[in-house]
Amino acid sequence: MNAKLAFVFLVSAIALQGCATMDVRMVGEARSPTDEYAVFIYQDPSKNSRGLPLDLPVPYEITPAEYEPIAVLNSNSIAKGCSGGFSIESQKKQVINALAKQAAALGANGIVMRELEVILCSPPRIRREYNEETQEMETIREEATYRVAGSAEAIYTEEYDSAYSISAG
């Protein structure tokens, strides 16, 4: 019974994770893990390739003046068209959540978003196919496939700790 329960839990965890991948490059020292829900999302347009604010689907703060870099994180996710799977917006959130979760595991209390982009992998297609059973030509519609890619720097900042202790007590 325990083996079946463990298998169901494993399959559920994989299904919830989706197709997200993670790449971690350490640039500082890891700390004790933090709570993933307490990781602040920061944005600094001067730190991304376009020099413009990113279109983030979640609330964010301006990057603190002083922080300690811990790691550079990259996450990718595969998204089907809105009617065939998750929306692009939910895929963006999935990537940001994956980045925050990984940052928390490294002891970060914030991530500075560097990139968040939607990349078209295959455009929508319409093709004709002969159906042997009905002996008729059928129109097959395939939705576009996208890859959502995100990059962030996992950071630790004292500003977070002081702001948290003031609001907490």
Q: Quick: pLDDT tens for 92-114.
A: 999 999 999 999 999 999 999 99
Residue 85 — very low, low, confident or very high, per pLDDT cuts 50/70/90? low
Distance CA 119, CA 101 (A): 23
**Domain layout of the chain by residue ranges:** 19-168
- For tokens 């970060």, the residue is 108
- CA–chain centroid gap for 135, Å, is 45
> Which residues have C-beta within 8 Å of that of residue 45, sequence separation ≥ 6?
51, 52, 53, 54
Distance CA 11, CA 127 (A): 34
Distance CA 95, CA 80 (A): 15
More confident residue, 145 or 69: 69
Residue 153 — very low, low, confident or very high, per pLDDT cuts 50/70/90? very high
Distance CA 75, CA 19 (A): 10
Q: Are 100 and 41 in contact (CB under 8 A)?
A: yes
Phi (first) and psi of residue 37, to 5 degrees: -80, -10
Q: What is the mean pLDDT of residues 23-30?
A: 97
Count CB atoms within 10 A of the CB of residue 116: 21
